[in-house]
Amino acid sequence: MAEFRVTNEEAEWAAAETFRQAITRVPPDVLRSLELSAAEETELVARRCLHTMLENAREAQGSMVVCQDTGIPVFIIEAGPGVRFEPGLRSAFERGVERVSREMNLRRMAIHPLTRRERGDNTGRGVPIIHFRMLEGFPFVRITAVPKGAGSGSWGTVRFLQPLEGVGGVKRFVLESIAMAGPNPCPPTIIGIGIGGDLEEVALMATLASCRAVGSRHEEDDIAALEDEILGLVNELGIGPMGLGGKTTALAVHIEYAFTHKPWLPVALNIQCWPGRRAAALIFPDGRREIL
C-alpha cells in the first residue's frame, strides 16, 4: 500500500480554506431548513427574522463574513491509521488561520485567558484548537473547521447526571439549558447533545453532534427517535428566532453517545447558532483535494 502522506502545504491550505468557507458561507442544509421554517412561521416578527437571516446569507455568499464574531478557530482532523503528517503541523494550521484573518481583516479573537492579551494573529497557546480522530478504514483525510463564536459558545455545558435520572433527566437538562440560554445563542439553533463517555469525550461528542448536517439522523433508530422527540420538546418552548417568539427555536437536535462508567450519566450540550458554521476539506491519497 502506498504511503498516504499529508504535507504541511496541504494542511495549511485546508486550514485556511475551511476557515474561510465556514465564516462566509451558510451550509445548504441550514439554508433549506431556514426556508422551510420561514414558511411554517405564522408570527410576523419570527418570519421577518428568518427572512433577514436568509438575505444575509445571500449577501455574504462566500466573500463577506456572515457574522462578525468569527470566533475561536477550531478544527477536527479525521484520518485513518495509515496517514502520516509532517512535523510542524500545528504551525501549518496557525499560518492558515493567520492568513485568512489578515486577508479578511477579522477581529483578533484569541487571547490569553488571564492577561487578556492577544498575540495579534488570531492564534495563541493551544489555538487553533485541533481535535484529532483516528477512524479505522477512513479512505481520506477530512479537515473540518468549526469556529466557535461567543453567542452560542458561551452556552455550552456539561453535567454529570445521576444514572437514576435516566433519559428523562437528559431531556430536562436540555430543556432547562435551552430555556436559560433564551435569545443569546441566536436561535434557531442546531443542538448537539453528547451522552456518556467521560468529561472530555461527552463534550467532544456534543460538538461533533452540533456539526452534523440538518436532516441527518443517528444510525440507531432509538437514538434517532430521541433526537426527533427532543427537537419537538425544544420547539414547544416557543423561544423562536432570536428569542422573539415563534415555532422555530431549534432547526435540529443531534445526539452522539458512547458507553460510560457505571456510576455516571454524563451529558453535554453544544449549541450551534443559526449560521451553522462548518466547512470541510478532503485530501485524498493521490493528492487530490476538495472543499465540501
Which of 5, 107 has the CB closer to another protein? 107
* Binding segment (CB under 8 A) for another protein, from list 31-39, 42-50, 203-211, 280-288: 42-50
The minimum distance between CB 251 and another protein, in angstroms, equals 13
User: How many Cα atoms sit within 13 Å of 47 on the Cβ side?
Assistant: 6
Count CB atoms within 10 A of the CB of residue 200.
11
The minimum distance between CB 86 and another protein, in angstroms, equals 34
* Binding segment (CB under 8 A) for another protein, from list 34-42, 65-73, 207-215, 261-269: 65-73
In one-letter notation, the amino acid at residue 221 is D
The minimum distance between CB 64 and another protein, in angstroms, equals 4
Cell 452560542, residue located: 152
User: How many Cα atoms sit within 13 Å of 88 on the Cβ side?
Assistant: 9
Site for another protein in 96-115 (CB under 8 A): 104-108
User: How many Cα atoms sit within 13 Å of 62 on the Cβ side?
Assistant: 5
Site for another protein in 143-182 (CB under 8 A): 150-151, 166, 168, 171-172, 175-176, 179, 182
Length of the chain counted residue by residue: 292
Q: How many chain residues are in contact with another protein, going by CB under 8 A?
A: 49
Site for another protein in 2-31 (CB under 8 A): none
Those residues with Cβ within 8 angstroms of residue 105's Cβ, 6 or more apart along the chain or in another chain: none
The minimum distance between CB 147 and another protein, in angstroms, equals 13
Count CB atoms within 10 A of the CB of residue 211.
22
Among 35, 40, 59, 290, binds another protein (CB under 8 A): 59
Residues 252, 191 contacting (CB under 8 angstroms) = yes
Site for another protein in 212-271 (CB under 8 A): 233, 236-245
Residue 1 vs residues 82, 83, 133, 135, 285: alpha-carbon distances, Å: 9, 11, 22, 18, 11
Residues that bind another protein (CB under 8 A): 44-45, 48-49, 52-53, 55-56, 59-60, 64-69, 104-108, 118, 150-151, 166, 168, 171-172, 175-176, 179, 182-184, 186, 233, 236-245, 273-275
